[in-house]
């Protein structure tokens, strides 16, 4: 476990708190591993009947730490090997049997949004901002979001989020069906906690079966694999190099000069 992911179990709820606020909770490899292990482990822990995901600081998560992506693009062998071994959080989300609840305050970027598509209940702040800027970084969607997001909100809306990088606030996330409710920021954690405890109080076998019936786990896994192949290829592309350089230099990328 990493100090950047805090864990606490009480009342049948395992709470996972992203705790890297000084870096806007950007996710590192160690954080992905810790989150994935915790979600996987919940399935065999009789004391855990629901998992609650939240974050400290003013941002849910800035998504993947771009330094890791840039290292892969630059040919860093260690970073590339870690990437090729797969993302433990995404895999755990895809096969999760324990109900997942999310409390989202501040901005959620990239995987901070796509992970919500695997959560069974989602509560967001009204002023939260959700973005999936994969194409802006010359990448492709992940976490089976290319399948799940259009199914949730429709092709046109999903395409605008993925390709144009259009952001949606908490109220729109509720209206579009990404979130159960949009609330004042000060109320989000309490509402999500109460929902998680309510889930934990239900008969565990019925809850697990219902969750399983509502998800096509093999299709999700296959879509993750398809996305992963394209993501890995794009991560090493000249377009991605330009995108990461532009981000570091705080300028707009110019993909027209990339062959």
List the CATH number of the domain containing 59: 3.90.226.10
Q: In what order do the strands lie in the sheet with 168-169?
A: 59-61, 107-109, 129-131, 168-169
Residues near 132 by beta carbon (within 8 Å), at least 6 away in sequence: 109, 110, 113, 114, 141, 145, 149, 161, 162, 165
List the Cα angle 89/50/122 in 5-degree steps.
Answer: 70
CA distance 110 to 44: 29
Q: Is residue 116 part of a domain?
A: yes
Q: Is residue 198 part of a domain?
A: no
Q: Is residue 244 part of a domain?
A: no
List the Cα angle 35/207/38 in 5-degree steps.
Answer: 15
Q: What is the mean pLDDT of residues 71-93?
A: 78
List the Cα angle 155/143/47 in 5-degree steps.
Answer: 125
Threshold 0.85, pTM exceeds: yes
Residues near 62 by beta carbon (within 8 Å), at least 6 away in sequence: 23, 24, 25, 26, 107, 109, 110, 112
Q: Hey, what are 191's tokens?
A: 């509402």
Residue 177's SS3 state is coil
| Total number of domains constituting the chain | 1
End-to-end CA distance of the chain, in Å? 42
Q: What percent of the chain has pLDDT over 70?
A: 96
Pairing relationship of beta strands 181-183 and 129-131 according to DSSP bridges = unpaired
If one counts every other C-beta atom within 10 angstroms of the C-beta of residue 234, the result is 18
Q: Is residue 89 part of a domain?
A: yes
Residue 67: its pLDDT value, please?
82
CA distance 34 to 53: 12
Question: Based on the number of CB atoms within 10 Å of its own CB, is 214 exposed (0-12), middle (13-18) or buried (19 or more)?
Answer: exposed
Residue 93's SS3 state is helix
pLDDT level of residue 191 (50, 70, 90 thresholds): very high
Q: What is the mean pLDDT of residues 40-51?
A: 96
Q: Is residue 130 part of a domain?
A: yes
pLDDT level of residue 69 (50, 70, 90 thresholds): confident
Residue 28: its pLDDT value, please?
92
Residue 173: its pLDDT value, please?
98
The yes-or-no verdict on residue 1 having pLDDT over 80 is no
Q: Is residue 156 part of a domain?
A: yes
Residue 3's SS3 state is coil
Instruction: Write out the residue range of the structural domain in which residue 121 sits.
Output: 5-185
Q: Is residue 24 part of a domain?
A: yes
Q: What is the mean pLDDT of residues 96-109?
A: 98
The yes-or-no verdict on residue 180 having pLDDT over 80 is yes
The yes-or-no verdict on residue 81 having pLDDT over 60 is no
CA distance 237 to 243: 10
- Which residue, among 216, 201, 211, 205, has the nearest Cα to 144 in the 3D structure? 216
Q: Is residue 71 part of a domain?
A: yes
pLDDT level of residue 84 (50, 70, 90 thresholds): low
């Amino acid at each position: 476990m990493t100090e950047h992911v805090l864990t606490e179990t009480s009342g049948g709820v395992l709470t996972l708190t992203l705790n890297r606020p000084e870096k806007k909770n950007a996710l590192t490899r160690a954080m992905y591993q810790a989150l994935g292990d915790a979600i996987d482990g919940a399935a065999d822990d009789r004391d855990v009947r629901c998992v609650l995901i939240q974050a400290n600081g003013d941002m849910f998560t800035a998504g993947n730490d771009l330094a890791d992506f840039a290292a892969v693009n630059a040919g860093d062998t260690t970073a590339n090997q870690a990437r090729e071994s797969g993302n433990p959080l995404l895999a755990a989300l895809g096969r999760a049997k324990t109900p997942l609840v999310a409390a989202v305050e501040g901005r959620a970027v990239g995987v901070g949004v796509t992970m919500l598509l695997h959560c069974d209940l989602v509560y967001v702040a009204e002023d939260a901002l959700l973005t999936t800027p994969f194409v802006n970084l010359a990448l492709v969607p992940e976490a089976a979001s290319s399948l799940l997001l259009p199914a949730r909100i429709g092709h046109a809306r999903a395409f605008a989020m993925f390709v144009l990088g259009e952001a949606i606030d908490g109220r729109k996330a509720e209206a579009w069906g990404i979130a159960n409710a949009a609330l004042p920021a000060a109320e989000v954690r309490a509402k999500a906690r109460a929902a998680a405890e309510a889930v934990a109080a239900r008969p565990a076998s019925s809850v697990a079966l219902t969750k399983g019936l509502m998800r096509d786990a093999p299709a999700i896994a296959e879509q993750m694999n398809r996305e992963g192949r394209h993501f890995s290829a794009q991560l090493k592309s000249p377009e991605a190099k330009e995108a990461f350089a532009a981000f570091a230099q705080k300028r707009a990328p110019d993909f027209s000069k990339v062959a």
